Amino acid sequence: MSNRLELLPAVDVRDGQAVRLVKGASGSETSFGEPLAAALAWQSAGAEWLHLVDLDAAFGTGDNRALVREVTERLDIKVELSGGIRDDATLAAALATGCRRVNLGTAALETPEWVAKVIAEHGDRIAVGLDVVGTTLKGRGWTKDGGDLFEVLARLDAEGCARYVVTDVNRDGTLTGPNLQLLRDVCAATDRPVVASGGVSSLADLRAIATLVPEGVEGAIVGKALYEQKFTLEEALEAVS
Active-site residue identified among 54, 56, 63, 131: 131
Q: Which is nearer to ligand LARABZUK, 12 or 218 (CB)?
A: 12
Q: Which is nearer to ligand LARABZUK, 20 or 192 (CB)?
A: 20
- Nearest to residue 198, comparing CAs of 230, 218, 163, 171? 171
Q: Rule CB under 6 A: say whether 17 interacts with ligand LARABZUK.
A: no
Catalytic residue check, 131: yes
Catalytic residue check, 12: yes
Residues 81-100 that bind ligand LARABZUK (CB under 6 A): 82-83
Residue nearest to ligand LARABZUK (CB): 223
Residues 181-210 that bind ligand LARABZUK (CB under 6 A): 197-200
Residues engaged in binding ligand LARABZUK (CB under 6 A): 10, 12, 20-21, 24, 51, 53, 55, 58, 82-83, 105, 129, 141-142, 167, 172-173, 197-200, 221-225
